[in-house]
A and B are shown apart, each in its own frame.
Chain A
Amino acid sequence: MAALLLRRLARHLVLAVLATSLAYLLAAVALDPRAGYEGRAPRPPEAVIDARLSALNLNDRTPLADRYRTWAAGVLRGDFGRTWDGDPVNAELWRRLGVSLRLVLPGAVLGCVLGVLLGAHAAARRGRTADRLITLGSCVLLAVPVFVLAMLLQIAATKANQIMGVRVFVWVGESTPGASSWPDRARHLVLPTAAIALAQLAVYCRYQRGMMLDVLHADFVRTARAKGLRRRSALLRHGLRTALIPMTTYIAYASGFLILGGVFAEKIFGRHGLGEWLVDSITRGDVNAVAAIECVAVCGVLLAGLVSDVLHGVLDPRVRGAA
């Protein structure tokens, strides 16, 4: 298992290097940091702009290869360079990463667990009312894009607040300014967590139901029943674990969606996380900040891939044997 993980890690490292390089190059080509300076009034002299851009390694008159080399050398030392304003990218990056993770992770975990449980339950009661309700619910939820879902929740919460006359639901920012207690933070998390959890839940539920239906009629479940297990315990003891195996691959795939959901959630729930920063940086033409965020996203996706590998190895002895 350890050897297998090391090999995976090595391959991931290569992919990460390639992917972040590509991300930097795309950002460097597509974004225009000069425009921001030129738009200032009064317009600074050309030479000043050039010097300023060169100092930040943003000058589009420097050959792309040189800029890339400077950037890559910095990244190797763990330094993502400076933003368009001249602040170090690193400090801002870690702070905002914390904000984003606190926003997204609870919903992601909750959605995944609930989704798997609901999906398995629906498959086991196939064709009954519970199954129909769950299937219908996930089908409708799937059709609601996450930003619409978040807004709907917000609108509903506003109405609820109006009706009750008290502000039960709050969502703007991580905490009420000046009153940063745990209950307050948790209260601020309710809506975003619900939005992300619901969006994830719908997807996981559908997949898990499909996987579970596949093992419902599997020969080994029949064998388990022939041994004297009742249908329900045969499904739980022999079916569920086998049906979970393909789901592990899905975790890696879902991480991409999660990052995206995070961007919308930040905008809608007024958090100053990576997503908001990304949109701002793009409009400002802040190449270094955009590249750093892309780099974090790439690592996030690869990390999710690694987690899914580990889970796969834990659940499936056939893969473990290969290590």
Chain B
Amino acid sequence: MIARPGAGNRRVVAGLALLALLFSLVSFGPLVSPWGWDDTDFAAFRQGPSATHWLGTTQSGRDVFALTLRGARKSLLIGVFVAVISTGLAAVVGTAAGYAGGRVDRILMRGVDLLLVLPPLLIVVVLAPRISGGVPVLVALLAAFMWMVTARMVRAMTVSLREREYVLAARFLGVSAPRVIVRHVLPQLASLLAVDASLNVSVAIIAESGLSYLGLGVRPPDVSLGTLIADGHGAAAVRPWPFGFAAGLLVLIVLAVNLLGDGLRDVLDPTGDGR
């Protein structure tokens, strides 16, 4: 196979650049915006873009620009945290099951099967309204139902790594199991985990905004991209700004993260360019 290392690299660079841009927009945007996200301008309801309100106002007189940046920041933060937590959980469960084998493996994997059969978001939907506590709980909930597929992949790789000769060699040297995992197994999984964590960011962002769209995620008065899209949708044909800006930001974030993840996969995966 003829490797095209450039393609992967280009995507990583594009994804990173886009992400950096988005991050600086959501962190510095509120500083330059004349309005805070929770300010209400009683002199301007449902206005179009103008010098005072760059992207207009909502029907309750809040500034669309400030509001959307706030929502995007929330969505990004939730996405990153969920991805890190769920990938970490997947790494722990997957390596434990794969390396220990036998009964531990069987029990853990049956559990994973069970959770995979239950459509995860339906469960989250059921649990979400009951559990108060805001964003941290939402993060935990989303993370708790996103790790299973990754855990399966990690387990499969660990099982094959366990029989790799250098892992056997380490075991026959008398190196202890946790040390073997940390020194010889985890480094080989690093690329898989990095790719997966980045792709999970986009899954989490989509999940969060979907939930919020249904009114089951982030609650008013706080906002996320999902709630903004839901609010803006009704009047979108007449006043596209609130909907368009929020939906556009959401698509751009997911696109950037996907580019980064896919690119990383091509760059890091040894089978992708080694053959």
Interface residues of A (CB under 8 A from B): 15-16, 18-19, 22-23, 26-27, 30-32, 139-140, 142-145, 147-148, 151-152, 155, 158-159, 217, 253, 256, 259-260, 263-264, 267, 278-279, 282-283, 290, 293-294, 297-298, 301-302
Cβ-neighbour of A148 out of B113, B149, B215, B229 (below 8 A): B229
Interchain CA distance A256-B122 in the complex, whole Å: 10
Interchain CA distance A140-B258 in the complex, whole Å: 10
Tally inter-chain residue pairs, CB-CB below 8 A: 110
Return chain A residues, CB-CB under 8 Å to B127.
Answer: 26, 30
Q: A282 and B117: CB pair below 8 A?
A: no
Q: B122 and A259: CB pair below 8 A?
A: yes
A-B contact pairs, 14 of them (CB 8 A): A18-B114, A19-B114, A23-B118, A23-B122, A26-B127, A27-B126, A139-B259, A151-B229, A159-B237, A264-B210, A267-B214, A279-B214, A283-B129, A294-B126
Q: A158 and B117: CB pair below 8 A?
A: no
Q: B258 and A145: CB pair below 8 A?
A: no
Q: B118 and A155: CB pair below 8 A?
A: no
Interface residues of B (CB under 8 A from A): 1, 113-114, 116-123, 125-127, 129-131, 149, 202, 206, 209-210, 213-216, 229, 233, 236-237, 240, 243, 247, 250-252, 254-255, 258-259, 262, 275
Cβ-neighbour of B258 out of A142, A155, A253 (below 8 A): A142
Main secondary structure of the interface of B (DSSP, over half): helix
Q: A155 with B236: in contact, given A19-B118, A256-B119, A301-B119 (CB under 8 Å)?
A: yes
Interface centre among B122, B215, B237 (most CB of A within 10 A): B122
Return chain A residues, CB-CB under 8 Å to B215.
Answer: 279
Q: A158 and B237: CB pair below 8 A?
A: yes
Measured CB to CB, the closest approach of chain B to A288, in angstroms, equals 13
Q: B113 and A147: CB pair below 8 A?
A: no
Return chain A residues, CB-CB under 8 Å to B114.
Answer: 15, 18-19, 22
Interchain CA distance A301-B214 in the complex, whole Å: 22
9 closest A-B pairs by CB: A143-B255, A143-B254, A30-B130, A19-B117, A145-B206, A158-B237, A148-B247, A297-B119, A256-B119
Residue of B nearest to A161 (CB): B237
Residue of B nearest to A300 (CB): B119
Interchain CA distance A264-B250 in the complex, whole Å: 17
Cβ-neighbour of B130 out of A32, A142, A155, A256 (below 8 A): A32
Residue of B nearest to A20 (CB): B118
Residue of A nearest to B275 (CB): A217
Measured CB to CB, the closest approach of chain A to B80, in angstroms, equals 17
Given contacts A139-B262, A151-B243, A294-B123, 14 further A-B contacts (CB under 8 A): A15-B114, A18-B114, A143-B202, A143-B251, A147-B213, A148-B229, A148-B251, A155-B237, A217-B275, A256-B119, A260-B119, A278-B125, A282-B216, A283-B129
Measured CB to CB, the closest approach of chain B to A135, in angstroms, equals 10
Interchain CA distance A260-B243 in the complex, whole Å: 22
Cβ-neighbour of B117 out of A159, A264, A298 (below 8 A): A298
Q: A26 with B126: in contact, given A139-B255, A264-B213, A294-B118 (CB under 8 Å)?
A: yes
Return chain B residues, CB-CB under 8 Å to A23.
Answer: 118, 122-123, 126
Cβ-neighbour of A139 out of B206, B216, B258 (below 8 A): B258
